[in-house]
Structure 1
Amino acid sequence: MKIPVRALIGFVGLALSTAVPAGTGERSAAQDPVVDAPAGSVRGVIEDNARKFRAIPYAKPPLGALRWRAPQPLPRWAGIRAAQSRGAACIQPPMAQGPYDRGAIDMSEDCLTLDVTAPENARNAPVMIWIHGGTLIWGSAQSAMYDGREFAKRGIILVSINYRLGVLGYLAHPELGRETAEGVSGNYGLQDQIAALQWVRRNIRAFGGDPHNVTIFGESAGALSVEYLMASPHARGLFGKAVAQSGYMFTMPELRNARYGEQSAEAIGVALAGKLGAKSIADLRAMDARKLSVASAMAGFLPYGTIDGHILKRQLVDTFDRGEQAPVPLIAGLNSGETRSLRQLLPPLPASADAYTADIRARYGDASDAYLRLYPATDPEQARLDASRDGIYSWAMERLARAQARLGQPSYLYLFSHSYPSADEAGLTGFHASEVPFIFGNFQATPPNWPRIPDDAGQRRIADAMLDYWTSFARTGRPIAQGASEWLPFGTDNAFMRFEGGPRMAQKFMPGVFDLHERIMCRRRASGAQSWDWRVGAYAPVLPVAGKGCA
């Protein structure tokens, strides 16, 4: 069982906000920076003492017969390409109102582009590649939130990438498999991300970057994408460090096998085509892209990576258990109030404390005592907020940190519990994606309904520390912030950094949370009949009895 469409409204990470302006003030073309890269020459702009190049294509646009094909390289273009104006977002359905809503945007199937922000005199600079969130349904590299000026001030080149979304990025179908030598389909958006990383490897030196010092980072679906890239053999060697902000590890559909209570990815694609009245892939390719995007979302199509034995070989939990992921240093973490802005995911409030206790005992059996200790009946509202947060994010991020530590890689964990008056007043303390404006040091470009962040010394202190930690990690693999606490690796007594008012180290990250949710996942996986996903509390299926290798 996947997340119902009604539950997804809000489960978006940070998708889009106001578009980045193409530039301000008077300038002459002679003053604009020109870079001659292997892909071709591009002309950008200088803003805030940084060179900015926008909407650079990294692959052929997936139009017409190329829809649902792997991204193809572009030949070198002639002349100097203008890279001064924002590009179009990839096709996506409208978003419902909420803190993430960004209003009307430009979008196109011709969207496989990236933005580069570089220090004016960059030379062999570390590179950070940002992968936006949005449930693999919404989002854009061109969000004003993702302006890279603060990274450039710290000597970092920031690359922000677009990738195909929704049905256009993740449809699997038997006909599509027959079009490829490998016999697989799906994962087109993930293949776009890999193509963007390959473009960076070939071209970033021309912008002053070090192609062998690349860090990938993303939030929500962007963090999930980081996990996919860590798991995919096709991305191996294209990055050397990773940051996952509020990622998750749900069950993925297998290409042709129905397993863990899921349909196969191909069966999902065939069913969707039937719902849309399409008899063939040719019929789907003939549909208007925007109408197809909206109709697919309304029909309940939810994009996920597909286990195809090629791009993704096995479930994420299995890949990381086997130590097959990229052996790279990692920062991972989450926010304290993740589900405060994702209330559609919360199980219903019980009629009484006794009803809640009885329901948990019926669903969780011999694991119910541990569940009720962590999520007691004395405060059912807080219990469902915390249980949903932990079942989706806390368990996954700690699992990721543990997996990298087992490989002998530096692994750093954080909890962002910082808030400010307007977020508290809205009941959104530490909400999903609330760390993003602090990571980018950009308080003024949040979406219209986002709780306003006061631009004062306290907020800047947090933002400066986070920027320092993130960029020093990209530079050396160690997160260091000037005048702030030393960030110890997770393996040091489950150490983690708490961002709240100011960064401070703490020990014993969320005692008991990982053990409970790992136990739940293990039993569901061992049964072969249940998925591990967002469902907790009154939404959870009855937990199977202990299986082989599971407590």
Structure 2
Amino acid sequence: MKTILGMLIVLVMQLVYAQNTVEGVHPRIKVSEGTLEGQYKSGIASFKGIPFAAPPVGKFRWREPQPVQPWQGVRKADRFGPRAMQRPIFDDMQFRSDGMSEDCLYLNVWTPAKTFKEKLPVLVYFYGGGLIAGDGSEFRYDGESMARKGIVTVTVNYRLNIFGFFSHPELTSESPYHASGNYGFLDQLAALKWVQQNIGAFGGDPTKVTIAGESAGSYSVSAQMTSPLAKKLFRGAIGESGALLDNHRPRPSLAEAEQNGLAFAKAVQANSLAELRALPAEELLAATAKFDANFSATIDGYFFPDDPVSIFKRGAQAKVPLLVGWNTEESNYRGLLGDKAPNIANFNQIINERFGKQAAQLLQVYKPQSDEEVKQVATDFAGDQFIAYGTWRWSDLHSQTGNQPVYRYHYARPRPAMRHQTGEIATGAVHSAEIEYALGNLPTNRVYNWQPEDYQVSAIMQAYFVNFIKTTDPNGLGLPVWPRVKAGEPAQLMHIDVETKSITEQHRDRYLLLEKLSDAK
């Protein structure tokens, strides 16, 4: 009888679990602000459009994120929230968001948890888009594939452009921390705090959080590693093509950013902060297309107590394992040469015109031996200036002062042709090309004519990411061994392509020179 009774109990439990994980049955989660109701899809529970801060509108425009007001009853979490205010700049962004609004501080969670008590590793992903565009609802960032690998996956919205990075003397004066700007980074910080408080309810382990992102998302990862406010909120970091440590584009001081803000206010004929806050969001957004201003990271004395390079040099950054890299064609040779023919004469002329006294040194390390080599060398130079050098320096400095493992990659697989593409196809891996591969999301992007080799590369790259998120080490069974970076030496890096293998970095001399020249400014 006891055996039969035990079998019946097990059967009932299995039926209850099945009823709670099938399509059409909605999982419910209790978080600090109230109860959420999500959706199941083939065993993965998703919760979309979760508010992690109050709407940053009205008096909260250009304020640090404010607490969410608790709600009564059950809140539906079955659709993405609105995306942040942004102009349609990048044609490769495919949104599933509920429109566009200043009210944009929402995050999304995908979890494979069965009991929601598993304590699974967690990935928090920040989208790219130059801090002026992007959204956590984009298909390429979808968290389902990572969840199927046993990882609770979170995508986070944050304020952009003038809404996320605007400074003004009146804002500094009213601020409890006597600074202004960097609101987008503070949004990310608020999301990380929310994860610490609530991810356990989704079956995640708050002590096993890895932050990651591409381009501006990678900049954001380096920012969170830099800020003392974010320490102890994550145990690992992944950066794909981007960092705040290039120094040939110095970050403005708070005083400089405030003057930039005053100039913008004058341009839109707003004589006070109150008048700026009274302007419709659409009007402010439209003005950013006309006004020559760069609303981006500011050395504000609060989120950034100092320049990121200085913080990393003295070892004051978050001491966490870092996996970081960039792509083979972050920029095209035309990014340097424009319409000029790719030959040595034109290459030398442009370097001399743009870089003056530094040109002679640059031409010693960016030195094509023939006209045929100019395309590749110019492509390398343009990519280094755009984003590769700063990413290299992040990894190099952290290997020297972070006291934690650093793993560096070079991503080389070009995207295939678009399904109906005519004309030139990139010969290298362009900026952002690796996202779908790394997150296992090739099927979500139907623009490209993916080939079996693409799925092969994706399987390898995602496996490295999954291992790192789970253990802080990308190495694992069936994968080429990925050595750590050794401080002060030419790095062993993982060359990711159809033939993935560890190689020695080839152009350290270039980056050491760029480091010398940027520090001299």
Residue 354 in 1 paired to residue 345 in 2? Answer: yes
| Corresponding position of 1:472 | 467
What is the match of residue 284 of structure 2?
292
Q: 1-side partners of 2:71 and 2:350: how far apart? A: 63
Q: Is the 8 A contact 1:167 1:301 kept in 2?
A: no
SS of 1:78's equivalent in the other structure is coil
What residue identity is the alignment partner of 2:172?
G
Cα contact 2:322–2:406 (8 A) shared by 1: yes
Match 2:168 to one of 155, 166, 173: 173
Does residue 274 of structure 1 match 2:266? yes
TM-fit CA distance, 1:465: 1.3
- Between the aligned partners of 1:104 and 1:409, the Cα distance in structure 2 is 37
Distance 2:433 2:177 in 1: 41
Structure 1 segment 412-491 matched on structure 2, within 5 A: 412-422=407-417, 425-427=424-426, 429-446=428-445, 452-454=448-450, 456-491=451-486
Cα deviation digits, residues 135-179 of structure 1 (max 9, x gap): 100010111211112211111000000001110110000011111
Inter-CA distance 521–105: structure 2 relative to 1 (3 Å threshold): farther
For the residues of structure 2 that align with 1:309 and 1:285, how far apart are their CA atoms?
24
Aligned runs of 1:23-422 on 2, under 5 Å? 27-28=23-24, 31-95=25-89, 98-100=91-93, 106-121=99-114, 123-249=118-244, 250-256=249-255, 264-340=256-332, 345-348=335-338, 350=340, 353-358=344-349, 360-361=351-352, 363-365=355-357, 368-376=360-368, 378=371, 379-406=373-400, 407-422=402-417
Deviation, 1:27, is: 4.8
What whole-Å deviation, never above 9, does each CA across 1:255-306 have from its counterpart, x for those lacking one? Answer: 01xxxxxxx0000000011111211111211111122112123212322111
Distance verdict in 2 for CA 1:421–1:467, change over 3 Å: closer
Deviates more, 1:124-133 or 1:460-469: 460-469
Question: TM (normalized to structure 2)?
Answer: 0.87
Q: Flag the 1:350–1:216 CA change in 2: closer, same or farther, 3 A.
A: same
Supply the distance in 2 between the matched residues of 1:43 and 1:404 (Cα, whole angstroms): 41
What code does the residue aligned with 1:416 have? Y
Cα gap change, 1:101 to 1:291, in 2 (>3 Å): farther
User: Bigger radius of gyration, 1 or 2?
Assistant: 2
In 2, Cα distance between equivalents of 1:129 and 1:481: 22
CA separation of 1:94 and 1:217: change in aligned 2, threshold 3 A: same
What does residue 514 of structure 1 align with?
511
- Going from structure 1 to structure 2, the CA distance change for 1:428 and 1:164 (only over 3 Å counts) comes to farther
Instruction: Give aligned-pair identity as a percent.
Output: 33
Structure 1: how far apart are the matches of 2:321 and 2:85? Answer: 33
Distance (whole Å) between structure 1 residues aligned to residue 94 and residue 150 of structure 2: 32
Q: What secondary structure, in the 3-state scheme, does the structure 1 residue paired with 2:30 have?
A: strand
1-structure distance, mates of 2:97, 2:466: 32
Q: Which amino acid aligns with 1:418?
A: R
Tell me how far 1:382 sits from its aligned partner: 3.2
User: Structure 1 CA distance, aligned partners of 2:395 and 2:426?
Assistant: 29
Q: CA RMSD in A?
A: 2.4
1:443–1:453 CA contact under 8 A, matched in 2: no
CA contact (8 A) 1:276 1:296 kept: no
Encode CA deviations 1:66-119: one digit per residue, 9 max, x unaligned: 1111111113322111001121101111225x4457699711111100000000
Deviation at 1:38, TM superposition (A): 2.1
Letter in 1 for 2:61: R
Alpha-carbon shift at residue 391 of structure 1 (Å): 2.2
Question: In structure 1, what is the Cα distance between the partners aligned to 2:27 and 2:358?
Answer: 65
Instruction: Name which of structure 1's ranges 190-199 and 424-433 shifts more when overlaid on structure 2.
Output: 424-433
Q: Is the 8 A contact 1:169 1:186 kept in 2?
A: yes
Which residue is equivalent to 1:530? none
Counterparts of 2:263 and 2:273, CA distance in 1:
12
Equivalent residue number for residue 534 of structure 1: none
> For the residues of structure 2 that align with 1:381 and 1:53, how far apart are their CA atoms?
47
* Contact 2:365-2:509 at 8 Å conserved across structures: no
With over 3 angstroms needed to count, the CA separation of the structure-2 counterparts of 1:85 and 1:367, relative to structure 1, is same
- Whole-Å Cα distance in 2 between the matches of residues 56 and 102 of structure 1? 17
Aligned equivalents of 1:514, 1:201: Cα separation in 2: 37
What letter corresponds to residue 499 of structure 2 in structure 1? Answer: G
Quick one: distance in 2 between partners of 1:102 and 1:337? 25
Alpha carbons 1:394, 1:514 under 8 Å: kept? no
Look up the equivalent residue of 2:295 and give its one-letter code.
P
Following superposition, the deviation at residue 356 of structure 1 comes to 3.7
Contact 2:243 2:394 in 1 (8 A): no
For 2:83 and 2:234, locate their aligned partners in 1 and report how far apart those are by CA, in whole Å. 24
Cα deviation code 1:430-477 (max 9, x no counterpart): 01000001012112333x8x5x141x4321221111111111111111
Following superposition, the deviation at residue 399 of structure 1 comes to 1.3
Aligned in 2, Cα 1:189/1:52: closer, same or farther, shift over 3 Å?
Answer: same
Q: 1:294 to 1:463 in 2, by over 3 A?
A: same
Contact 1:32 1:45 in 2 (8 A): yes
Equivalent pair of 1:440/1:467 in contact (CA under 8 Å): yes
Q: How far 1:380 sits from its partner (Å)?
A: 3.8
Matched residue SS, 1:206: helix
Number of residues paired by the alignment? 484
Q: Distance in 2 between matches of 1:199 and 1:403?
A: 30
In structure 2, the CA distance between the partners of 1:483 and 1:111, relative to structure 1 (3 Å rule), is same
**Judging changes above 3 Å, is the alpha-carbon distance between structure 1 residues 421 and 36 closer, same or farther for their aligned structure 2 residues?**
closer
Which residue identity is paired with 1:286? A
Q: CA deviation at 1:132?
A: 0.3
Verify the 8 A CA contact 2:165 2:182 in the aligned structure 1.
yes
User: Deviation of residue 481 (structure 1)?
Assistant: 4.3
Letter in 1 for 2:190: A
Distance 1:361 1:279 in 2: 44
Paired residue type of 1:463: S
Q: Give the TM-score of the pair, scaled to structure 1.
A: 0.83
Structure 2: any 5+ residue segments left out of the alignment?
Answer: 1-21
Once structures 1 and 2 are overlaid, which stretch shifts more, 192-201 or 70-79? Answer: 70-79
Structure 1 segments, 4+ long, off by >6 Å, are 101-105
Q: How far off is 1:393 after superposition?
A: 2.5
